[in-house]
Structure 1
Amino acid sequence: MLRPLGACALLSSILLLPGCASEGIIDPHGYNATGGASYYGAQHQGKRTASGERFDQNSYTAAHRQLPFGTRVQVTNLSNDRTVVVRINDRGPHTRGRLIDVSRAAAEQLGMLRSGTAKVRVQALDD
């Protein structure tokens, strides 16, 4: 009788784990970090994000390793002071040293389409 219970407990813990790219969800209140940003676009269009919704390169969304899905953040490009507000709906970036991946629309607003990357400040917004 103990074996089936142990198997159920193990299976339950596996199914309840957050996405594999996640390093543990953090409290977004007061979140303020600086780091690298990149963007993702056409090659991911229509594919499911870690939150389960379909990726739309024309929406203002982003991928972050630890912020909860639905968190709204202001992203500021530190080289030109342009800002955009995005909603976290995916996990990533999957490149070492990057803080956030933004959608193509957000990258355009930030003025980083040509370079593909930028140094940014990410600040969580309290709703």
Structure 2
Amino acid sequence: MNSSLKFLIVDDMPQMCKIIYSILTDLGWKNITIATSGEKALKLLQEKEFDVMLLDNNMPGMEGLEVLEQLQKLNITTKPKVMMLTADRKMTTVQAAIKLGVSDFLVKPFKPQTLLEKIEKLGL
């Protein structure tokens, strides 16, 4: 496990951010940033480098799929691996996310062990 990975959690629900943050810290990761909106996430992505973005889809304002579209347009040297963490199980959402470059998809609710396994499969 690479304990130096830099994570960006993007979810509009503060409680979900706290849960994901807690899971990641319990698993040994410490470099974790939280954005509570797609707009904040895009701003952070232009300011800092992240290895992994854990992205919710169903958010007010800018949904996760819109964040992915904007991420492709950003002029940044290193783009993070993106894992969608969402309750949205629609096949059209999954297909759109894959088309926009998502590395993996995890449906909420999920077990910490499942998140760990998916992060490890990202090959970072």
Task: Determine if the TM-score, normalized by the shorter chain, exceeds 0.5.
Answer: no
Which is greater in Rg?
1
Tell me which of the two structures has the higher relative contact order, counting C-alpha pairs closer than 8 angstroms and 6 or more residues apart: 1
Structure (1/2) with the larger strand percentage: 1
TM-score range, shorter chain: under 0.3
